[in-house]
Structure 1
Amino acid sequence: MTEEEVETSIADEVLESSTEPKSEEKGYLARDEYTSERFKLEINNLPKYFGFGDLKKRLKLLGVDFVKIKVPKGATHAYVNFRNEEEREKGLKLLTGWTFRGNRVEVTHAKPATDIMFRQNKSKKNDNKRDRQADNDHDPNAPDEVKIQNSATPLWNLTYEEQLAKKSTIVQEYLKGLEQKIKETNSKDITIPFEGVKPSPIVDGYRTKCEFSCGKGNNDEEKIVGFRYGEYRSGIDRVGSPSVCKNVSDEMKLVVQHFQDFIRSRSSPWYSAETHLGCWRQLTVRTSRLNYILMMISFCQGQLAADEIEGEKKELLKYFTAGSGSVCKVTNIIFNVEKNKAGNELVQSEILLGDSFIVEKLFDLQFHVSAKAFFQANTQGAEVLYSLVKDSMKLDQDTVLLDICCGTGTIGITLANNVKHVIGIEMIKDAVEDAKRNAQLNNINNIEFIADKIENVIHKLVTKYNQQRLVAILDPPRAGVHRKVIQILRSAENIKVLGYIACNPHLATHNFVDLTRPRSRAYQGEPFVAVTSTAVDLFPHTPHYELFVLFQR
């Protein structure tokens, strides 16, 4: 799969639409995951007959940095998706007035594609075709337990040794493609050494956070709490129990089972993604090594009166503190009431039990982790990853570490005792406040956090520490960072060592290429060289992994 074809959201499976969708038609945009559907252009007045490959090649030559292109069959228009708003606007500028094979194109902002579930309710005529497409990889007649595992943990039927071998092959294939892309920019053959895949210390039940949907089972059994599996792209809303999923812990499965028992005892309906009606929508569970168990309930108010919702809260709290659910030993309960069908308009958030956060132990440190905060879902695997970073970058007491995209400060805080000073940089102010609190919690005094964009502070920091060994660690969101950040890091020649953690290497490819491309007006400073790469298996039973690449110059 090429970089342009990789996409991580439901929007990959939806048809393009140039009409304005209603709010519930694009409910997937309310989710936290990355989707390029937010940043899309429509190109009109293309030639009647043109090749997809030719259009793709011409756009690249023009300098349009897109994620993917979609051309409806037989159409004279196309959709171009981008990683972020800045790249979309740059693409708009480049394409305005552009002529393709004699046709002067027209380019406009495009609307996000319609949520597959909403569209399916409007038309069922493609059901059979979509069902066949959805079942390409798995037997449609397989038992539900197998379908759930195939969806949530696709590698469940391999031994762990076989899983590691498969991931090693996946990473090596990716690196081979990356080497070719780097070669295209500097005309030199390069090899990125691969040090293999580091296994997770815990293989089963490792996830400390899971989101469970409330919905309908395969046999129309209502009020199932678990994972949607396999058929969402076909417009069929089915939920299956996580009891067979190897990556979910027994304590989390127990919470899910009791929550399911509770909502089945209530008259208020479960939420349906097909009809966008109902109340009980989602259960998020977070656990920690220190025996915290947090439940966060997403409840759509629907037609219920305020006193009815209050009644549901009281009964839920009673069930998990004094009723049958007390066996789960839940420490925190947060009840979120949402207004609209997409579930992205919060009416009320109330802490029914405990605090708004749990406490997790990472190495010998403790971290406050709020219900929605990012924290690696495999704590013991994260220790392997951060130890790899520390050892690979040869940190010492003469090192000043720049923790770029630091989030709540996890990496910088865990490495602080190994360096002279840490500067965490993060543009989300709430995350920076969490980072400061976590540093204070662990009495870490050689660390500071800056709530700002990297381009606003990097030059000042490089100048301030120009006599120090300055290294950078970059752990960005799924889609990587904007090229402007890479350009600034390239121009900061005092940074000789840079470590990059990629949770989705395909989406980070543009960053890797820009770090290594030859010096130019846009990319000043000597290029970095990828000197080693190592994968860490934070997600057993799935194809996912974290890739750490060490760059030097």
Structure 2
Amino acid sequence: MEEEIEAPMTVESSVEPSKEEMETPMTVEPSADRKKEEKGYLARDEYTSERFKLEINNLPKYFGFGDLKKKLKQLGVNFVKIKVPKTPNHAYVNFRNEEDKEKGLKLLTGWSFRGNRIEVSHAKPATDILFRTGKPKKNDNKREHPAENPADADLPDEVKIQNSATPLWNLSYAEQLAKKSTIVQEFLGGLEQKIKETSSKTVTIPFEGIKPSPVIDGYRNKCEFSCGKGNNSDDKMVGFRYGEYRYGIDRVGSPSVCKNVSDEMKLVVQHFQDYIRSRTSSWYSGETHIGCWRQLTVRTSRLNHILIMISFCQGQLSPEEIEEEKKIFLNYFTQGAGSICKVTNIIFNVEKNKAGNELIQSELLLGDSYIVEKLFDFQFHVSAKAFFQANTQGAEVLYSLIKDSMKLDNETVLLDICCGTGTIGITLSNSVKEVVGIEMIKDAVEDAKRNAKLNNINNIEFIAEKIENVINKLVKKYSQHRLVAILDPPRAGVHRRVIQTLRSAENIKVLGYIACNPQLATHNLVDLTRPRSRNYQGEPFEAVTTTAVDLFPHTPHYELFILFQR
């Protein structure tokens, strides 16, 4: 899966309360609405371990972080991370999912650590940083932006936005590839060590290097741009939020300096900004939940399609006023100054002014609800919110790598697990006997079926189901064929039940794993290789080769393809 970063995150995905927050007495009980706003990031469609957290109390007065981590592992607690605040005898443990959290609760209940009987309970998610009220920090009054990272305070805004959106922008492309190659090798070294810890066997995972992106600048085919206030109090800025959110910064900078954004997108952003500045309605504030213009999503394709989707909060406007706004907006981009952008599709979403931005109306103002993208010789319908690799030409490099590494032929049956809208299975369908795509999200499966029909692919089947519910039937059905699997999961990987299921499917001898965030997927990679046991039946897989593909130039992100065999 793509490392889905359309703009710098405006809420850290997992944060703990500061010492000041815990110690500062509350003089007024926050309202229910205020409490909801403080946890508004939980309503977003993104993974955060803040949803699955336990609080541990009555720890020994002096204990080391590493010691606590080791003890929890020995207990069998499957945690994501541990946070130890400055408050004594106290810690937080975050988990990947509800099941792991509940298991951790059972294992920790009644546990004694160095003679102390541990108290464990469910913990509330941390407060969004912008809503924290701590004591003023020393020298805050000396800064133009008190919450700003002191190291960045004197940098020009153009540098700040590039540092935030494209952290590797000031390196040559050769230097970027070298840096990422080092990052991958360091990760593989750590993975080798973890595999050794579980199997007592020394392993070496070969690394075949990193494949460059065919296009380095302007490669993103989708970006999400926020509306807000600029650094110099410029109102109704459209671009990326930047600055360290942990320092309380919530400003918007122009993407005009960002190398990963295409000229076509930059032109749309500029004209959208000009348009909303001409209107009386204000930009939407995620802190106060006041205002209208919240977000602009832009999708482009190699076939010269440009889709824009507007997120507009209703504010105090009447339905009639909103309808008038739509008409003026449509005219601007079809007949007015914005027509130079040659937008082909416009979706106008109206949302409630509240945390979570509840959609109350979505209207297609121009064109279809999707654009058409070309990948190799195939075409795909891509809707505004659908997952599609952000770097189309880079995706072709990745999919070609998969085809060559797995030695696909007309005797092979390919299981495309977490198939999404079917891009991998469809592009590889000409190289195999049959493809079976498995995806638990039904809407994605419907998109995949439409894309297969669009390309006249007849040797492909898509199943809307969990892999553990269908794998045994599929293994039996294709017992006389060469059965291989490709696993392209979300960035946090899949639940261990999926790995256990694949381990037990003895007919699957070859498995390809695509990791867009290898660190988060480590638990999957280790479980594929751990020795046979009651929980992990079937022979373990062995990582025989790894190759990185740079789908995200100017950023630290990459895709890692790992080929497993047994």
Aligned to 2:296: 283
**Residue deviations 1:451-488, cap 9 Å, x none?**
11111111111111111100000000010011111111
Secondary structure of 2:39's aligned partner: helix
Secondary structure of 1:512's aligned partner: helix
Deviates further, 311-320 or 24-33: 24-33
How far apart, CA to CA, are the structure 2 residues paired with 1:207 and 1:33?
20
Deviates further, 383-392 or 268-277: 268-277
Aligned to 1:125: 136
Aligned to 1:470: 483
Secondary structure of 1:156's aligned partner: coil
Residue segments in structure 1 that go unaligned for 5+ positions in a row: 1-7
Cα 1:222–1:528 shift into 2, 3 Å: same
Opposite residue 429 of structure 1, the aligned amino acid is: K
Tell me whether 1:344 sits opposite 2:357 in the alignment.
yes
How far apart, CA to CA, are the structure 2 residues paired with 1:321 and 1:343?
31
Deviation at 1:374, TM superposition (A): 0.6
Aligned to 2:26: none
- Contact 1:292-1:331 within 8 A present in 2 as well: yes
How far apart, CA to CA, are the structure 2 residues paired with 1:524 and 1:231?
45
Which one of 219, 228, 236 corresponds to residue 223 of structure 1? 236
Alignment of 1:456-467 (within 5 A): 456-467=469-480
Tell me whether 1:537 sits opposite 2:539 in the alignment.
no
Deviation at 1:100, TM superposition (A): 2.2
Which one of 235, 250, 255 corresponds to residue 263 of structure 2? 250
Aligned to 1:382: 395
Cα 1:160–1:70 shift into 2, 3 Å: same
Aligned to 1:107: 120
**Residue deviations 1:16-67, cap 9 Å, x none?**
7899972211222233332111111222333333332222111111111111
Deviation at 1:128, TM superposition (A): 5.8
Aligned to 2:222: 209
Aligned to 2:445: 432
Tell me whether 1:96 sits opposite 2:109 in the alignment.
yes
Deviation at 1:267, TM superposition (A): 0.4
- Contact 1:237-1:273 within 8 A present in 2 as well: no
Aligned to 2:459: 446
Deviation at 1:283, TM superposition (A): 0.6
Secondary structure of 2:320's aligned partner: helix
Cα 1:416–1:216 shift into 2, 3 Å: same
Opposite residue 258 of structure 2, the aligned amino acid is: C
How far apart, CA to CA, are the structure 2 residues paired with 1:433 and 1:127?
56
Tell me whether 1:36 sits opposite 2:49 in the alignment.
yes
Aligned to 1:179: 192
Deviation at 1:12, TM superposition (A): 3.5
How far apart, CA to CA, are the structure 2 residues paired with 1:97 and 1:128?
46
Cα 1:178–1:490 shift into 2, 3 Å: same
Which one of 325, 341, 344 corresponds to residue 312 of structure 1? 325
- Contact 1:14-1:116 within 8 A present in 2 as well: no
TM (normalized to structure 2)? 0.92
Aligned to 2:180: 167
TM (normalized to structure 1)? 0.95
**Residue deviations 1:229-264, cap 9 Å, x none?**
123221121110000000000000000000000000
- Contact 1:11-1:115 within 8 A present in 2 as well: no
CA RMSD after TM alignment: 1.9
Cα 1:295–1:363 shift into 2, 3 Å: same
Secondary structure of 1:188's aligned partner: coil
- Contact 1:208-1:379 within 8 A present in 2 as well: yes
Tell me whether 1:135 sits opposite 2:149 in the alignment.
yes
Aligned to 2:3: none
Opposite residue 320 of structure 2, the aligned amino acid is: D
How far apart, CA to CA, are the structure 2 residues paired with 1:433 and 1:460?
22
How far apart, CA to CA, are the structure 1 residues paired with 2:185 and 2:284?
43
Opposite residue 64 of structure 1, the aligned amino acid is: V
Deviation at 1:349, TM superposition (A): 1.1
Which one of 53, 57, 64 corresponds to residue 51 of structure 1? 64
How far apart, CA to CA, are the structure 2 residues paired with 1:457 and 1:42?
38
Which one of 63, 86, 93 corresponds to residue 99 of structure 2? 86
**Residue deviations 1:314-353, cap 9 Å, x none?**
1111110111000001111111111132243111111111
Secondary structure of 2:13's aligned partner: helix
Which one of 422, 425, 428 corresponds to residue 415 of structure 1? 428
Aligned residues: 543
Residue segments in structure 2 that go unaligned for 5+ positions in a row: 1-8, 23-29
How far apart, CA to CA, are the structure 2 residues paired with 1:63 and 1:103?
19
How far apart, CA to CA, are the structure 2 residues paired with 1:90 and 1:416?
41
Which one of 77, 87, 92 corresponds to residue 64 of structure 1? 77
Tell me whether 1:15 sits opposite 2:20 in the alignment.
no
Cα 1:88–1:340 shift into 2, 3 Å: farther
Tell me whether 1:518 sits opposite 2:518 in the alignment.
no
Cα 1:422–1:134 shift into 2, 3 Å: farther
